[in-house]
Amino acid sequence: MTGDLGVSAIADYLRETGWQRRPLQWRGASIWTREGADVLVPARDGMGDGDLRVREILDVLAAVEDRAPGEIAQDIGSAPADTQQLTIFPPGRASGFASLRQTLGVLAGLGETFLEATRAVFRRNPAAFGDGTAEDVDGFMAGIQIGAGRPGSYIIPVQVPLDGPEGPRPPLGRLVTRELHSAVSFLSGRKEPLPGPLSPALCDALAGLADESGERPFEIGFGWSRRLPSDMPAATYRFEEDSGPRFRATAEKLRHAESSAVLRQSTASASDIGLARHVITATGLIETLHRDQPDGDQWTIDVRADSPLTGTSRRVLHVQLPDRAVYEAALAAHRQERRVRLAGDVTIHPRRTELRVADATGFDVLD
């Protein structure tokens, strides 16, 4: 448990979790303090009593953080990952046991939850992560790990890896965790902004965390990797006995909205000349920026929508923006690889699809 923990990794963990290093040393070891507790960190790796000192550090950290020493050791020595903790409340939990049927149902719901969150991220970020084929999704899901909970705690720890090249865009794992966090936060009633449309399938999957009956309470907590800071605080959300039916009812409402109002036919007369016009809301990434008119009064961009529009298999929209200010906002979003939301009137031509944004309210930068 301690052999792979280097002095540098331990010092980084202490610094990033709020410990303060004192200016004094004790026999070459650095002294760190937090909340009235002290630990001694060896001066270098490979010292004769190094393993003993590391065990002592883990014991103190376990007391301060109220966690198992092995769990803390894994955090110090493992690759960056976001952590979720699912807590279930089975009948007769005082006995220390839960029924096999309920536990299998909850684990299946947990798997479906991460699967649907991953699919939602792929749908919204095709330019960054590909089309989200079954192979892509399965490859990411294979990296998610479940840890051993403490006996009698009914806590299931989950780690989502944050692998991927460094760059301005968060790694896929962070986007999946944020997708799940946003859905859970929204369903809890906090009404925080969503990264995109709430997935009905994700709502159904979350209902599975309330066991097969959908009528058991549960809690889900979110912790963000210390190696990739997040603007969202660690938080735990509790859902009571009615959560399963409520989530499924929300999923049905979302499906009905998708089928009836994703794309609405307008009363425009463009169909008289062989075109189809619609009023839509679409999200996607900006591919190209250009100005069509030499006098500068027509600002246009090309956006790859997250999904094809109703009435056409195309995903690329040729978008006319209302003014220079909106164009400059689009330019900044393009440089930062941030998704945008568009609202306006669409005309589907035989060779391309055009969207006209009437004013600044029809253009938003997401993520």
Residue-wise pLDDT tens digits, 25-36: 777 788 899 888
Residue bearing the bigger pLDDT, 234 or 206: 206
pLDDT at 270: 36
The residue that leads in pLDDT, 63 or 350, is: 63
Residues 12, 132: Cα–Cα separation, whole Å: 36
Q: How many residues would you count in the chain?
A: 367
Q: Which residue has the tokens 């989530």?
A: 247
Query: What tens digit of pLDDT does each residue of 4-25 get?
Result: 688 888 888 888 778 888 888 7
d(CA 301, CA 327): 8
* Cβ contact 301:272 at 8 Å: no
Instruction: Enter the pTM of the model.
Output: 0.59
| Average pLDDT of the chain, as a whole number | 81
Please tell me what DSSP assigns to residue 360.
G
Other C-beta atoms lying within 10 Å of the C-beta of residue 23: 6
Highest mean pLDDT among 5-19, 171-185, 241-255: 171-185
Q: Which two tokens stand for residue 104?
A: 């299998």
pLDDT tens-digit series, residues 71-128: 788 778 777 889 899 999 887 666 778 888 888 888 999 999 999 999 989 888 777 7
Structural domains for the chain = 7-77 (3.30.160), 81-261 (no CATH), 264-365 (2.40.50)
